[in-house]
Structure 1
């Protein structure tokens, strides 16, 4: 009698080992980010003076910004820093937006709850000085973090929520419960209760949420599943959602479109804003 398939959950959520040239790609991120910072008009390491020491970078367009474009980086809530991702502001800046890239302390030094609070604090702070609509994007764990900004449990100010026109988790991890079966959780320290409470798929989206769940078509099956799951769940709760699986993109290349204002990713993000 055939048994059920045994899943290797660590392998299911492993990206680096399944992407050819992953080390070189990661090294290029750092170089490209530094090169962009050296050329861009920016204000770096803005602090919000809260107890959690939230901080962020702003990259400015040449003219008055059309609004705020937020990008939150990934790394399973436990690796990398905002300085690795500066170049991903380029498409938004070239399109006339002020690009905000928040930093956050990493697990296990802090909890995911703490990280969510830090991201919200940075966005609230930036929104006080930059008028106009707000777009939220984030990659992988960053996709999770921007999705949490758009639930009824959000820590964003009400007036800030009203300005959000589009949220685009890219390869977002929006159901944390499967991670309980992985070594990733050694640093996250989640249990069933906290994983459920922090999963956007189990939360109510704020009214008038517009969500595009974006993922690379060549990504691991769990990222494809999670991407569909968030859009399907929130659609059933009244949000305006769409699912896009970008052809020929894997977990690391799927964010490349953020560098160009005319990429299909950026055109989709900015459509009708």
Structure 2
């Protein structure tokens, strides 16, 4: 399936970018990663084990619909600030309960961690999901004082990038506290996804894909932004990562581009469980 308005783009061939001929394969991490089907069950088990001993406030409502809920994990003592982790799943899958263990690294460094769910496609369009995440961040910020650091993975990387677009949904007082954003394996230009079978659920048209693509917006001035991706990821995820860094650098933003060696799409986010891992240090400083 090829959308007539979107050019063929893909991985490097030594002289440029190879055209993509199979868009579904270009974004299929499960098919590209050995044992890819086993990761979701592993995440669920790790998250459940972590929640069993964590200090947390569960299922805090930030809106009226069933999935507008967040979990807030609290460190020992007064938090240094608030870290917010937004999950991925192509806006079609997962919820906060699958990723609880990712709070371990920031908690060990003394930060509170908020982890929201959001309404999934096809029940919600991506524009609605963006608005929900903005409300979740505002709700979390009202509960924890201090600086805010924001990260998200894959679709979550898209959503956290949208928070620092000039037309993003964050209230001014919350945006003023937001110091640093790390988009991990983020999707920053949504137009190619119209070529994928997943668009049956996403229901992206060209107008919404353009409006919800962070790389097609101007960034809020004065924020530290990192586009972080696994060095072993699929070419389209490498391109999507580097695209945001390239475009936003050209617009004057303080953007860092990082390829983490030896990491693929399913394990690149796992470093948040470790207080001393490069990703955790980059997020919290």
TM range (shorter): over 0.9
Question: What CA distance in whole angstroms lies between the structure 2 residues aligned with 1:73 and 1:236?
Answer: 28
The alignment's TM-score, normalised by the length of structure 2, stands at 0.91
Alignment of 1:257-272 (within 5 A): 257-271=271-285
User: Which of residues 172, 180, 194 is equivalent to 2:186?
Assistant: 172
Q: Distance in 1 between matches of 2:257 and 2:167?
A: 23
Deviates more, 1:4-13 or 1:67-76: 4-13
Q: Which residue of 2 aligns with 1:137?
A: 151
Cα root mean square deviation, aligned: 1.3
Q: Distance in 1 between matches of 2:32 and 2:66?
A: 36
Equivalent of 1:183 in 197, 201, 212? 197
Aligned length: 268
Q: 1:86 aligns with which of 85, 93, 100?
A: 100
8 Å Cα contact 1:257-1:265 kept in structure 2: yes
Q: Any conservation in 1 of the 2:127–2:208 contact (CA below 8 Å)?
A: no
> How far apart, in 1, do the equivalents of 2:170 and 2:56 lie?
24
Give per-residue Cα distances to partners, 1:230-253, cap 9 Å, x unaligned: 011111111101111000100001
Alignment of 1:1-273 (within 5 A): 5=19, 7-50=21-64, 54-271=68-285
Please report how far the alpha carbon of residue 268 of structure 1 lies from its aligned counterpart in structure 2 after TM superposition: 1.5
Cα distance in 2 for residues equivalent to 1:42 and 1:49: 19
Q: Shift of the alpha carbon at 1:5?
A: 4.7
In the TM superposition, residue 210 of structure 1 has moved relative to its aligned partner by 1.0
Q: Deviations over 1:4-42 (max 9, x none)?
A: 955211110110011111222221100000000001000
The answer as to whether partners of 2:67 and 2:117 remain within 8 angstroms in 1 is: no
CA distance in 1: counterparts of 2:183 and 2:98, whole angstroms: 18
TM-score normalised by structure 1 residue count:
0.95
For the 8 Å contact 1:52–1:118, the answer to whether it is kept is no
Distance 1:24 1:188 in 2: 24
Cα deviations by residue, 1:107-140 (Å, 9 ceiling, x for unpaired): 0011111111111111111111211100110000
The alpha-carbon deviation at position 55 of structure 1 amounts to 1.4
Alignment partners' CA distance in 2, 1:116 and 1:50? 16
Q: Give per-residue Cα distances to partners, 1:164-204, cap 9 Å, x unaligned.
A: 11100000001000001111111110111110010000011
Q: Secondary structure at the match of 2:152?
A: strand
Contiguous gaps of at least 5 residues in structure 1: none
Cα gap change, 1:64/1:47 in structure 2, threshold over 3 Å: closer, same or farther?
A: same
Q: Are the equivalent residues in 2 in contact too, given 1:72–1:145 (CA < 8 A)?
A: yes
| Runs of 4+ with >6 A deviation | none
